[in-house]
Structure 1
Amino acid sequence: MDAHSPTTPAYEQLALYIDGEFIEAAGRRGQDVVNPATGVAFARLPHATTEDLDRALAAASKAFQGWRFSSPLERSKILRRVAELIRERAPAIARNITLDQGKPLAEALQEVTTCAEHAEWHAEECRRIYGRVIPPRAEAVRQLVIREPVGVCAAFTPWNFPFNQALRKAVAALGAGCTLVLKGPEDSPSAVVALARIFHDAGLPAGCFNVVWGVPAEISRHLIASPIVRKISFTGSTAVGKSLAALAGAQMKRMTLELGGHSPVLVFEDAEVEAAARFLARTKTRNAGQVCMAPSRFFVHEKAYDRFIDAFAGIYAGLTVGDGLAQDTQMGPLAHLRRVDAMESLVADARARGAAVLCGGERLASGGYFFPPTIVTGMPDDARLMTEEPFGPVVPVTRFRSTEEALARANALPYGLASYVFTNSLATAHHVSNRLEAGMVSINHFGLALAETPLGGVKESGMGSEGGTETFDGYLATKFVSQSTLVP
């Protein structure tokens, strides 16, 4: 479908957003935005100049002096209005996400609409940022613990869920009383510009939320080095996260990092094996497997293995791959050509190590970045597919004999984001959930990333949490005040 068809809404007018003003190219450098379903560029994104970055930082700093003392009721009102506008504008935002990111339209629409819940949750929780009174040792003393916003935040968000990831960071920072400079994903920028328009129209004061674009390494170095920035939040790969953490750590700046994963799936003999296989086939398809929490290493008990493979392949191999705007598409393209190259490389390494490819395995002949659902079996645990996050629709499936073997293999990698368990035994569920080295464990379903639940990892999958009652922790400083009515 033509991105500029007169029968459909126009693609988002891309711009920077600084101090309440939308700023278009006006001679600035920029880059093309490509539709991954066609490989054709159809829009142009302006990059921020150094002067733009400094203006955004200055605007955020100035706005913080007022926003930090704003009433939680005022913040709540604005976030509620943001939720309303998200629901009103969801169809247009979702279509543009499909155009520049590639995921099927239904998935894009779900991404946007669920963000309204996140805005509403933070609207409520920001009214409950409480301190406490500590009983004193002397009658004339009063001891208070106060939670205060840390200051200006710099946020860096990924291309796989462009609206969701930007929204989650924005509502947490703003709800806590912080201000924000956000660098979104240059490959899929429309959702972040749409979010800026939503905050603008919801009445957020100028300077509280700013959006910049550019060469990622250049932008991150400039923002993190600035003494104005007091905290960073990043979602993306472990390698980039470590680089940003080093920059922030050199200046003792707070960090929330949601990094890569390679989520193990443990399917036990007593599970509803066929139902688990069908569920996982649908879950793995989401965003063509480009999900940090995607189930990505399948360990199946040897007594359940054949039934699982038959049921899983029966669905996964037959999925319809195509343009996300086509009604019959069940899985869209990968977001970049480099992701297609990565899938082929992982499959080639597995084959070289004796693995069998049950379906897929080679890029699809088309003008876009398409790679089919692929199942690989029989590879050793040191195959790249078992040690590197695939971030695509390639699934390694292996057997295990005992619970302790499965746990040892699941915990063998430095990642610890999400994990999945399928069993009908309460004892097994309890035992395994206590021993999996992961920030999130989901048993017999996908119960992650809800507004009211914390999202975060351990080990090299990051630090800190987003969502749930933990959502503001990274954006608040703790101040102790001890006051006496008498001078000693």
Structure 2
Amino acid sequence: MTTSYPALALHVAGHWTTHTGGGTRPVVNPASGMELGRLPLAGPQELAAAAESALRGYRSWRQVRAHERYGALRRAAALLRERLDLVATVLTLEQGKPLAEARREVSLSADIIDFQAEEAKRLYGRTVPPRVEGILSHTVARVPVGPVAAFTAWNFPVNLPSRKLASALAAGCSVVIKPAEETPGSCMLLVRCFLDAGVPADAINLVCGDPGEVSSFLIERPEIAKVSVTGSVAVGKLLGAQAAAHVKRFTGELGGHAPVIVCDDMCDGDALDFVLRQSVAAKFRNAGQVCASPIRFYVPRGHLGTFAERFSAAARALRLGQGVDVATQMGPLTHARRVQDMERFVDDAVAQGARLLAGGHRVSRPGFFFQPTVFADAPAQCRLMQQEPFGPMAVIQPYDSLDSAIEQANALPYALGAYAFTRDLHTAHRLGEGIEAGMVGINHFGVSQPELPFGGHKESGLGQEMGPEGLLHYTDVKTITVGTPF
């Protein structure tokens, strides 16, 4: 076991435990393929205990005044900042991203917790004047929805749990959190921050296990009132249907296939330098394992050759390596099956006539590395143009008019993130209004901020996380009317 990696445990019914009914599984360093530790897996007994614990935690935590919940969450954020080096190192070891990216993720997670802590004090209701005699008051209040089952993915193993834990706890809910089995250590350290900050032990339960078994078990439990999931479209549809069958609240932050429209006025000189620098960094951040990662780059036909050549050269120049190496610009994919899927994307695109400009192969070294890969002129029906690759893969396509570029950008059933570059204010507004997506970034890729709602349209999900909107999804509306007793 790597000395920086913690001994893994689950937090169930107020206690950390390694004695579970589901056995164990290895957690692997994707940069080396070596085992980091053994993860205990929850069986039915532990899952039932976690659900029951969450109900106890909810009944006590919801009674805590909002200002006190605010204080506990602020302390948790402070502890996460104090422990940043440890948490970021563990994140890199188990997930693979460069340490600088891991540090930014942990720091931003603390900011998310801080913001939602502040929002805990702002769950305002309203009073409505009565219209008939004998009614003293009408009050509309926001109340916590109840115990939450939260399922998170492995690509941002601190950020994603932070969004759900901070929002749920700020609203007065308790949580059963299930991180991805590939990346449990960083979430475990995050949960420790909340517990050490004074959040009651029953209010947070952490479980791991077979994803299908854990999700089905928890969603069906009567104690669970809401389901929150970050994952693929297919997983979101499945869990959403299970939640709907039990009439439970559901928030799904699912996949995307983000387009980037580069306008003609950004295709030369310093403007092109800016677009390329921003685009390459955003595309290959976290090895492309980002739900809002840019994938389809639409460029005016007359500039396609220059843009594609320079984008490909920048991709080939990226330094690949272990995340703990400060010189690394792109780390490995998080597990072996992602490498295999990248190969299937490449084989399909090449077979259908797409031009491979860079990469396209796994890297011959230990770990799960795949070359930064760039295509051009990919047929609309090929898999790369229809499905989210979730890896270091971009495709550059020509367009002849801005209307056609917007039409191509909107052609898929996914609508999470989308981006565009222009110096013209009128065009910027036209793009912002015309592109179908939950988040549209003009001249930048930084659409995910603690103060802003994060979520998609179409098949990219339901509801939002972060921002004031994210907190509201953990509440129910309750109307209380009071009349005279006689």
Q: In the alignment, what sits opposite 1:126?
A: 120
Matched, 1:482 2:476: no
Number of residues paired by the alignment? 481
**1:443-468 Cα deviation digits (max 9, x unpaired):** 00123111100000011000000111
Matched, 1:300 2:299: yes
Give, as a single letter, the amino acid of the residue that structure 1 aligns with 2:429: H
TM-score (norm 1): 0.97
Q: In the alignment, what sits opposite 1:389?
A: 388
Q: Distance in 2 between matches of 1:113 and 1:260?
A: 24
Q: In the alignment, what sits opposite 2:200?
A: 205
Match 2:87 to one of 71, 93, 101: 93
Match 1:82 to one of 66, 76, 86: 76
Deviation at 1:202, TM superposition (A): 0.6
Q: Distance in 2 between matches of 1:45 and 1:23?
A: 11
Matched, 1:174 2:169: yes
**1:132-188 Cα deviation digits (max 9, x unpaired):** 011111354211101110101100000000011001100000000000101111001
Asked if the contact 2:438/2:454 (under 8 Å) is kept, the reply is yes
Asked if the contact 1:282/1:316 (under 8 Å) is kept, the reply is no
Matched, 1:254 2:249: yes
Deviation at 1:28, TM superposition (A): 4.9
Q: In the alignment, what sits opposite 1:343?
A: 342
Match 1:15 to one of 9, 12, 16: 9
**1:88-144 Cα deviation digits (max 9, x unpaired):** 101111111111111111111110011111111011111000000111113542111
Asked if the contact 1:274/1:308 (under 8 Å) is kept, the reply is no
Q: Distance in 2 between matches of 1:367 and 1:220?
A: 33
**1:229-250 Cα deviation digits (max 9, x unpaired):** 1100000000011010111010
Give, as a single letter, the amino acid of the residue that structure 2 aligns with 1:250: A
Asked if the contact 2:174/2:203 (under 8 Å) is kept, the reply is yes
Q: Which moved more, 1:262-271 or 1:307-316?
A: 307-316
Asked if the contact 1:25/1:45 (under 8 Å) is kept, the reply is no
Deviation at 1:315, TM superposition (A): 1.7
Q: In the alignment, what sits opposite 1:229?
A: 224
Give, as a single letter, the amino acid of the residue that structure 2 aligns with 1:88: E
Asked if the contact 2:278/2:445 (under 8 Å) is kept, the reply is no
Q: In the alignment, what sits opposite 2:376?
A: 377
Matched, 1:358 2:357: yes
Q: In the alignment, what sits opposite 2:320?
A: 321
Give, as a single letter, the amino acid of the residue that structure 2 aligns with 1:71: R
**1:386-421 Cα deviation digits (max 9, x unpaired):** 111010111111100111111111111110100001
Asked if the contact 1:162/1:192 (under 8 Å) is kept, the reply is yes
Q: Distance in 2 between matches of 1:21 and 1:316?
A: 47
Matched, 1:61 2:55: yes
Q: In the alignment, what sits opposite 1:7?
A: none
Give the 3-state SS of the residue equivalent to 1:129 in structure 2. coil
Structure 2: segments with no counterpart, 5+ residues = none
Asked if the contact 1:20/1:200 (under 8 Å) is kept, the reply is no
Q: Distance in 1 between matches of 2:224 and 2:251?
A: 14
Deviation at 1:274, TM superposition (A): 2.7
Deviation at 1:36, TM superposition (A): 0.5
Q: In the alignment, what sits opposite 2:458?
A: 459
Give the 3-state SS of the residue equivalent to 1:233 in structure 2. strand
Q: Distance in 2 between matches of 1:338 and 1:49?
A: 25
Q: Distance in 1 between matches of 2:446 and 2:362?
A: 32
Q: Which moved more, 1:349-358 or 1:88-97?
A: 349-358
Which residues of 2 match residues 18-37 of structure 1 at below 5 A? 18-25=12-19, 28-37=22-31
Asked if the contact 1:273/1:304 (under 8 Å) is kept, the reply is no
Q: Distance in 1 between matches of 2:64 and 2:407?
A: 50
Q: In the alignment, what sits opposite 1:51?
A: 45
Q: Distance in 2 between matches of 1:226 and 1:28?
A: 18
Asked if the contact 2:151/2:178 (under 8 Å) is kept, the reply is yes
Give the 3-state SS of the residue equivalent to 1:471 in structure 2. helix
Give, as a single letter, the amino acid of the residue that structure 1 aligns with 2:40: P
Q: Distance in 2 between matches of 1:205 and 1:115?
A: 21
Give, as a single letter, the amino acid of the residue that structure 2 aligns with 1:70: V
Q: Distance in 2 between matches of 1:304 and 1:133?
A: 59
**1:55-112 Cα deviation digits (max 9, x unpaired):** 1111110121121121001100000001110101011111111111111111111100
Give the 3-state SS of the residue equivalent to 2:327 in structure 1. coil
Asked if the contact 2:345/2:383 (under 8 Å) is kept, the reply is yes
Give, as a single letter, the amino acid of the residue that structure 2 aligns with 1:199: F
Give, as a single letter, the amino acid of the residue that structure 1 aligns with 2:235: V
Matched, 1:217 2:212: yes
Q: Distance in 2 between matches of 1:311 and 1:357?
A: 14
Give the 3-state SS of the residue equivalent to 2:411 in structure 1. coil
Give, as a single letter, the amino acid of the residue that structure 2 aligns with 1:431: R
Q: In the alignment, what sits opposite 2:139?
A: 144
Asked if the contact 2:54/2:176 (under 8 Å) is kept, the reply is yes
Deviation at 1:356, TM superposition (A): 1.5
Give the 3-state SS of the residue equivalent to 1:351 in structure 2. helix
Q: Distance in 1 between matches of 2:397 and 2:119?
A: 43
Asked if the contact 2:422/2:443 (under 8 Å) is kept, the reply is yes
Deviation at 1:195, TM superposition (A): 1.1
Deviation at 1:3, TM superposition (A): 2.4
Deviation at 1:27, TM superposition (A): 7.0
Q: Distance in 2 between matches of 1:57 and 1:354?
A: 52
Q: Distance in 2 between matches of 1:162 and 1:26?
A: 22
Asked if the contact 1:300/1:399 (under 8 Å) is kept, the reply is yes
Q: Which moved more, 1:195-204 or 1:255-264?
A: 195-204
Structure 1: segments with no counterpart, 5+ residues = 5-9
Q: Distance in 1 between matches of 2:250 and 2:305?
A: 45
Asked if the contact 2:20/2:43 (under 8 Å) is kept, the reply is no
Q: Distance in 2 between matches of 1:457 and 1:27?
A: 37
Q: Distance in 2 between matches of 1:292 and 1:178?
A: 27
Q: Distance in 1 between matches of 2:21 and 2:77?
A: 35
Give, as a single letter, the amino acid of the residue that structure 1 aligns with 2:281: R
Q: In the alignment, what sits opposite 2:261?
A: 266
Give the 3-state SS of the residue equivalent to 1:207 in structure 2. helix
Deviation at 1:19, TM superposition (A): 2.6
Give the 3-state SS of the residue equivalent to 2:163 in structure 1. helix
Give the 3-state SS of the residue equivalent to 2:252 in structure 1. strand
- Aligned CA RMSD, in angstroms, stands at 1.2
